[in-house]
């Protein structure tokens, strides 16, 4: 029995150390960027030896996905559950844009860091591609009642992007104002043309 408890304690300690390393890395990336953060920086912030960092994460290929997962835990992106109980296109678009913009506001620094370095770090590019694919799926689900054509759908995905929210807030708009503006634009765009449809899903 003592051996079992000892093994459990060791496993818990190892997991706690790993989590401390990940949390330290997330903090440092938000403060000074990914490229500006060394493994030694991470070790110092986490309060562990450099060898311990490398034992858990031999390279950025292991560390960045772990940090990305941690960011998703701290600031969960919207899921299809945001559409529960909503039938019209306008309702679904409004709910999605509100959820996206709230997510962007909470995690703005993490998004900024990732976008700034996505083209120079392959593993980050792969992670962000998954984030983009998730966004596209959500927009397609929200817009389904409008029966959009491919151009309308691409426009909708673009208008829901983080960089659009960031550009609007840079003008002084609040997130509440950006949500209302983008919702109006999307509903007008998706509701126009021969495929426009404001009926129920």
Q: How many residues does the chain have?
A: 201
Handedness of CA 77, 80, 86, 92 (dihedral sign): positive
Q: In which band, very low, low, confident or very high, does the pLDDT at 9 lie, cut at 50, 70 and 90?
A: low
| Per-residue model confidence (pLDDT) at position 12 | 79
Measure the CA–CA gap between 91 and 111, rounded to whole angstroms: 26
| Per-residue model confidence (pLDDT) at position 114 | 96
Overall pTM surpassing 0.85 (yes/no): yes
- How much is the average pLDDT of 126-145? 97
Handedness of CA 72, 146, 94, 186 (dihedral sign): positive
- How much is the average pLDDT of 184-190? 96
Crossing angle (nearest 10°) for helices 2-32 and 60-74: 90
Q: In which band, very low, low, confident or very high, does the pLDDT at 108 lie, cut at 50, 70 and 90?
A: very high
Query: Does the structural domain 2-73 have CATH classification 1.10.357.10?
Result: yes
| Per-residue model confidence (pLDDT) at position 145 | 95
Measure the CA–CA gap between 13 and 166, rounded to whole angstroms: 40
Residue 35 pLDDT exceeds 90: yes
- How much is the average pLDDT of 146-161? 97
Crossing angle (nearest 10°) for helices 89-106 and 108-117: 80
Alpha carbon dihedral 125, 38, 163, 78, in 10-degree steps, equals 70
Measure the CA–CA gap between 187 and 173, rounded to whole angstroms: 20
Mean pLDDT over the full length of the chain: 92
Backbone angles phi, psi at 88, to 5 degrees: -85, 155
| Per-residue model confidence (pLDDT) at position 5 | 53
- How much is the average pLDDT of 132-150? 97
- How much is the average pLDDT of 61-79? 96
């Amino acid at each position: 029995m003592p051996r079992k408890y000892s093994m459990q304690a060791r496993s818990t300690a190892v997991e706690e150390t790993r989590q401390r390393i990940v949390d330290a890395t997330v903090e440092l990336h938000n403060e000074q960027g990914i490229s500006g953060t060394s493994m030694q920086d991470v070790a110092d912030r986490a309060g562990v030896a450099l060898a311990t960092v490398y034992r858990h994460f031999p390279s950025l290929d292991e560390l960045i996905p772990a940090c990305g997962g941690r960011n998703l835990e701290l600031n969960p992106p919207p899921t299809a559950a945001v559409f529960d109980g909503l039938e019209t296109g306008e309702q679904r678009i409004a709910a999605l844009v509100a959820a996206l913009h709230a997510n962007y506001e909470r995690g703005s620094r993490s998004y900024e860091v990732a976008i700034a370095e996505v083209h120079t770090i392959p593993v980050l590019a792969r992670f962000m591609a998954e984030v983009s694919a998730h966004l596209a799926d959500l927009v397609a689900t929200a817009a389904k009642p409008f029966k959009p054509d491919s151009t309308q759908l691409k426009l909708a995905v673009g208008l829901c992007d983080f960089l659009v929210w960031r550009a609007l807030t840079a003008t002084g708009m609040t997130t509440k104002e950006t949500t209302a503006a983008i919702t109006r634009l999307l509903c007008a765009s998706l509701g126009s043309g021969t495929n426009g449809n404001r009926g129920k899903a």
